[in-house]
Structure 1
Amino acid sequence: MNWRGFDLGQLRSFVAVAEAGSVSAGSERVFLSQSSVSEQLKKLEARAGQPLFVRSKQGVTATQAGARLLDHARRILAMSEAAFEDLQGHSLDGELRIAITDYYRPHDIARILKTFSEQYPRLKLHVTVLPSATIDESAGADAAFDIGLSLRLVTPGSRRHGNGSGTGSARASGTVVRREKLLWAISAEAPPHVSTPFPLVLLPSTCQLQRFVVKRLDELKVPYLIAHSASGVAGLQLALKAGLGIGCLNESSIGPGVVACAPGVGLPALPSVEFHLLPGRAGESERVSSARNALVRPFS
């Protein structure tokens, strides 16, 4: 009887390369050498009977067949992990309330949560999008969520203070799952040179990131005006795409129609940001602690 399936190791490398955009970056995710991953992809394409990637100097992009396989591969790997966890007695069930900042991978978060749900089909997720400040300040015994994921600025002294904002708060930082560059962003159709005062697209002052940006510009006496105020990251992205001004976004929040500003336009350099899974609370159930540990991998 001929076996007609795919090798899990090859699929895992395939997903890593597809998500990372290059063989070198993908190989780091699966802790294999580039040559080993390249060989796995070669065998996978032979098994599939068609090319799965278009390769260029900039990296790799999935072909139409590759994009179709990618969706299948994510589900296959999630189900494989779910079966293993179940047999090990680690399967999660019940309800889990998660609060996530809307800066966290907005173009990808739905897929991440879907994959996590497929891995733990008996776990019912309740996801709420909240400002990072609200998540941090609400992370007590009476919080309306079990697990929080917030954004922190990485500024001088933030490692010492532990909160990623350089403010000196003693608040615990939790587990860093991702670190990204912070960038000035503008419409892809905007002219290369922007005249001053710089037209800013901002979120409300309750957003720590926007407060930092305004304070930084004021300190350096950079001329600006507030051209548009958005209520959330999705609104900010739309305003930027429409060409209403310049905004500040983390790398994974820059989507179609929006690009990073070219260096040398007169805007100050920005720090990096980190995304933290907040630490557990006293008396937290084993179910929530296990779920937090399980989330580290898909969120990274």
Structure 2
Amino acid sequence: MNARGLDLAQLRTFLAVTEAGSVSGAAERVFLSQSSVSEQLKKLEERIGQPLFVRSKQGVAPTPAGAKLVEHARRIVAMCDAAFDDMLGRSLDGELRLAITDYYRPHDVAAIIRRFASQHPRLRLHVTVLPSAVIDAGAHDDMFDIGLSLRMVDAPSSRANRAATPGSAAGARQSTVIRREKLVWVGARETLREHGSLAPPWPLVLLPSTCQLQRYVVKLLERARMPYLISHSASGVAGLQLALKAGLGISCLNESAIGDGVEACPASFGLPALPAAEFHLLPGRPGENPQVSHAREALAALLG
């Protein structure tokens, strides 16, 4: 290795640890053992000549030197990936329209999209947030090139969707399950600690009826004959999180969408059990541009 050089594999591992917040989480992302990840970090820190992470029981956090290296590492890895794709004739350019549900990892999705854009600097990326039902319904229209939607695992439509995209003929290509998460009844931490302040009829914070998850929650309460009232209607997940944190009611969220100041409702509330949720990357349309197919593969690797 050049005396002034940095090892690319070590930089990739370094970025994985930064994004995962732990060695164990990074090991899953880069398909290495935890000991191998720790060894790569140790060698990189020796190379840099200063510690890159502060370790604690909660995981790891970048030191000032680590935070400085993050941006350099992202550019280096992105340039390397772009050069490799270009040499193989897989370089992405032109425009790409991505439709995504705002339930998908709200705290991380901006960094994921930024990383994808940095890996493909000649690509003009257009991102639209849409309800999952709209994304699934538009699978065969020209609304977007790539769609990522949320589906409940135990819902009949979800089982059908796993077999094929809605509206497709039998034998069509399947969507790709990118991620599975638990759904959780949640409310403001401070409010939940005052059990007497919450009781039926349950005050619900909901999204519009176009959101299939919110429709599912209402039907679930009605089937269980649990009284409820809609205390607040938000236009998106960010507004839903804000209303929850303000103590305006309770709602249902996937685990990665639970923000600060919000936590799971206690079992003593007796709320109905919730299914899991899956995030589906819609399959390519017949005859789609190979550039879109390559972009879908690259996104799948980052979104998981």
Identify whether the pair has TM-score above 0.5, normalized to the shorter chain: yes
User: 1:189 is paired with a residue of what secondary structure?
Assistant: helix
User: 1:61 is paired with a residue of what secondary structure?
Assistant: strand
Q: Distance in 1 between matches of 2:157 and 2:234?
A: 28
Once the two structures are TM-superposed, the CA of residue 254 in structure 1 deviates from its matched residue by 1.6
Q: Distance in 1 between matches of 2:105 and 2:71?
A: 18
Report which stretch shifted further, 103-112 or 209-218.
Answer: 103-112
- Structure 1 segments (4+ residues) deviating >6 Å: none
Q: 1:261 to 1:63 in 2, by over 3 A?
A: farther
Alignment check: 8 A CA contact 1:240 1:246 kept? yes
Q: 1:139 to 1:116 in 2, by over 3 A?
A: same
Determine the structure 2 residue equivalent to 1:161. Answer: 160
Percentage of identical aligned residues: 67
Determine the structure 2 residue equivalent to 1:237. Answer: 241
Aligned pair count reads 296
Q: Distance in 1 between matches of 2:180 and 2:150?
A: 9
Report which stretch shifted further, 73-82 or 200-209.
Answer: 73-82
Once the two structures are TM-superposed, the CA of residue 58 in structure 1 deviates from its matched residue by 3.0
Q: Distance in 2 between matches of 1:278 and 1:82?
A: 24
Determine the structure 2 residue equivalent to 1:181. Answer: 182
Determine the structure 2 residue equivalent to 1:56. Answer: 56
Determine the structure 2 residue equivalent to 1:38. Answer: 38
User: 1:238 is paired with a residue of what secondary structure?
Assistant: helix
Q: Distance in 1 between matches of 2:28 and 2:216?
A: 33
Determine the structure 1 residue equivalent to 2:134. Answer: 134
Determine the structure 2 residue equivalent to 1:17. Answer: 17
Q: 1:218 to 1:29 in 2, by over 3 A?
A: same
TM-score (norm 1): 0.90
Q: Distance in 2 between matches of 1:265 and 1:72?
A: 49
User: 1:162 is paired with a residue of what secondary structure?
Assistant: helix
Q: Does 1:269 align with 2:269?
A: no
User: 2:216 is paired with a residue of what secondary structure?
Assistant: helix
Alignment check: 8 A CA contact 2:136 2:166 kept? no
Extract unaligned runs of 5+ from structure 2.
none
Q: Distance in 1 between matches of 2:276 and 2:68?
A: 34
Superposition map of 1:1-300 within 5 A: 3-140=3-140, 142-155=141-154, 160-163=159-162, 173-192=174-193, 193=195, 194-300=198-304
Tell me the alpha carbon deviations over residues 186-209 of structure 1, each in whole angstroms, 9 at most, x when there is no partner: 223323223332211000111000
Q: Distance in 1 between matches of 2:269 and 2:54?
A: 34
Q: Distance in 2 between matches of 1:163 and 1:170?
A: 12
Once the two structures are TM-superposed, the CA of residue 246 in structure 1 deviates from its matched residue by 0.9
Q: Distance in 1 between matches of 2:157 and 2:300?
A: 22
Once the two structures are TM-superposed, the CA of residue 65 in structure 1 deviates from its matched residue by 3.0
Q: 1:224 to 1:114 in 2, by over 3 A?
A: same
Extract unaligned runs of 5+ from structure 1.
none
Tell me the alpha carbon deviations over residues 26-55 of structure 1, each in whole angstroms, 9 at most, x when there is no partner: 112111111111111112222233322222
User: 1:264 is paired with a residue of what secondary structure?
Assistant: helix
Once the two structures are TM-superposed, the CA of residue 138 in structure 1 deviates from its matched residue by 1.3
2:183 partner letter: L
Tell me the alpha carbon deviations over residues 263-299 of structure 1, each in whole angstroms, 9 at most, x when there is no partner: 4332222111111111111221112112112211111
Q: 1:170 to 1:145 in 2, by over 3 A?
A: closer
Q: 1:85 to 1:69 in 2, by over 3 A?
A: same
Q: 1:219 to 1:81 in 2, by over 3 A?
A: same
